[in-house]
Chains A and B, each alone.
Chain A
């Protein structure tokens, strides 16, 4: 009897632990450390303990149980962060209404998405899994950490990351609802009114809730709950946008409703109104060089990031693509070609700045003691076109190691699928309409990705 109790008591903590997030300890030795916030350390060591950066310095000692990575001749940078991605989720657009604040992509996380591993193979450790841009007010997004290997969607979540929501301006919501369903908004004028109506209704809902009569308030409404939280500053807005006028419009609307947490996404014409963005305190997350794939990005410049940065706007470079997320270090490097940003500035575009935009810069985005042990190690300087990621580490756990990288890294194999299946068009350069944001909208309505 006693024996059984011992066995059971041994099993329980294991069972509990199995659903917990794996955190590792290790010593990275002798690398060129690009801290992003505190300059470059030559031949430096980083000691990670239980998933956190414990110490940065020289000649640090590992305990016997620690993994040691010899980074001699290599470049060590903070894990890359993508502020705009659609990896790791099984549904992107609930394109059924101009306002869908009620839906949450975090309800459909997919840790089997091979794109996560491929992002890790590009040094990317954290991404912002976003709802699409079909609706003026889209769904809530989820910040995920690339803990490849887990089969539990809960483990992907970056716990305690602030809540975020997707907004969208311009052609996409106009196309889906105006052209597609014949309802407002069909114009940029209409889009403004979608926001004003939604926020006004939420204010009324809040008031009704506050004035409950005999304990009976308004019928629970998830959309109004979420919109109320936006009004209360509990959710950061990430708004798909391109044209200068529409960006100014949204800032005006937000001013009227007392909302100020916003990051504009894509924001191809952000450079035209960089002073206004800076004054409002809005940040910007842009493509390195995508343009001309639709009319509202025809008057673009690849110098966008540099102009925004120089005008004091917190700027990041994102992927919005399962391809680009594989080489964000290269995308950031383009800011040196187009506008001559310094190495630290360019690296901040894919580390500290997106961390700030997601409200997680207290945990990730630079190599500092106390931050998460999220690290990317390259053979040469990561801003070189010849850079090849060697190790990618999340919470002190090696999740990508170029020396231990078998061909087939799938976590899930469909027993019904033909082994010759091609999942993406071979040789086709882009997400098919150049716009990852519109996934689910023009395909079938029902999104049932075969993992």
Chain B
């Protein structure tokens, strides 16, 4: 009986591929049997993983499979927790060079009231392309300016932003930098320094205003007026230490000054980017600020740097005791998250820690480790089934579950492959 359902299921999938119809996700009870289940608290468990109503309901060798469950035989396969990319613009941006498809960057330096979740396009073509590589959840963040807006953690499945929302939001900030922005940046050292000082000054102004705003707000008496000030209102939770602030900072000098700023202002901070992290790993560890680093597949920022610094950065920080998650900082190629993790693993982070850096560590950093980030009973069923090492390019992912939904392994890229591998008509009609 189970086998029959399995065959029927396979048939359905192949029919839908041939017909070029977009497969629909299915929901309910699933039993993933005969699998090697990779958990963090119990090692690799051989047996069955049960999903019911969006949650992981059991993991183990001897599991009673209810009759209504869809059984998927995972003989010879592995089950991993869905990967989390802790920094992307997925869902906000669509086509890089077409500005009207770009929703990540609002005008203005101070736009903390912009909500990423508002502009997430659930039907972005990029989303299926991403999730079929095992990335089930991403932080999508606004970009540009000093305070670009509020980032949101989303699951890569759903038809409204609210369906996709994965429970975490955090303010973002680009820390003032004196660094050259790239080889096209021709500003003199002096100009850049001046700009940096100006930026730090304006940051102080924002915090002074927040102090005033809080004071007025907390002491309002009837008839008093608190002016409409959405920017300050949006930053107030950060000021009060109630909301996390994700600070993009990369250069050594900037990281050091960001650490000091965070400590002086008692901000609940997460650092992102942190390209020079290896230069100041001890200071970062001592400050106890978690880091979302990446992309790993990146070019060294100084000509005098050793070639492998971007690859080795995550490992070097981890060794010094920093809590490190990995991000791609990408849009259309967030799907390369496993390869970023793979390179970090090879260049010093190690396979196990690299896997954690794209699963449980970001979940912990976002305070969502009760819900996602590992295979544990009771957590959201964000998992994927594959036939080998999840970071290896040769590995094939066969099944994908997001929030308990069995998501078809399809995307624009697979449709085009199916249509054009053996094109019809070919050369001649």
Contact = CB atoms under 8 A, between A and B. Distances in A.
Contact of A117 (B307, B329, B412): B307
A428 to B, nearest CB: 7
B250 A407 contact: no
A332 to B, nearest CB: 9
B346 A385 contact: yes
B217 interface: no
Contact of A426 (B250, B304, B427): B250
A425 B417 contact: no
Interface centre among A339, A408, A418, A444 (most CB of B within 10 A): A408
B181 A337 contact: no
Interface stretch (B227-235, B273-281, B376-384): B273-281
Interface in B226-264: 248, 250-251, 253
A430 B180 CA distance: 15
A424 B426 CA distance: 46
B421 interface: yes
A387 B96 CA distance: 31
Contact of A327 (B297, B331, B427): B297
B180 A339 contact: no
B339 interface: yes
Given A292-B332, A423-B180, A432-B184, A405 B393 contact: no
Given A292-B331, A322-B299, A326-B307, A272 B420 contact: yes
Contact of B393 (A114, A272, A330): A330
B333 interface: yes
A362 B21 CA distance: 47
A301 B392 CA distance: 20
Contacts of A339: 417
Contact of A427 (B184, B298, B303): B298
A118 B274 contact: no
Interface in A398-435: 405-410, 418, 420-429, 432-434
A323 B296 CA distance: 11
Nearest to A400: B307
Interface size class, chain A: 35 or more
Given A275-B423, A289-B336, A301-B413, A423 B302 contact: yes
B307 A121 contact: yes
Contacts of B420: 271-272, 274, 301, 307
A437 to B, nearest CB: 13
Given A299-B416, A405-B306, A388 B346 contact: yes
B186 A444 contact: yes
B306 A426 contact: no
Given A289-B336, A292-B126, 19 more contacts: A272-B420, A279-B427, A293-B332, A301-B413, A301-B416, A327-B297, A330-B393, A337-B395, A386-B392, A421-B189, A421-B302, A424-B182, A424-B183, A424-B302, A427-B248, A427-B298, A428-B181, A429-B295, A429-B329
For the complex of A and B, list the 6 residue pairs with the smallest distance between their C-beta atoms, beginning with the closest: A385-B342, A294-B97, A293-B96, A427-B273, A426-B250, A427-B250
15 contacts: A274-B423, A276-B427, A292-B332, A307-B417, A337-B396, A385-B346, A385-B392, A421-B302, A422-B251, A422-B301, A424-B183, A424-B302, A425-B179, A427-B248, A429-B295
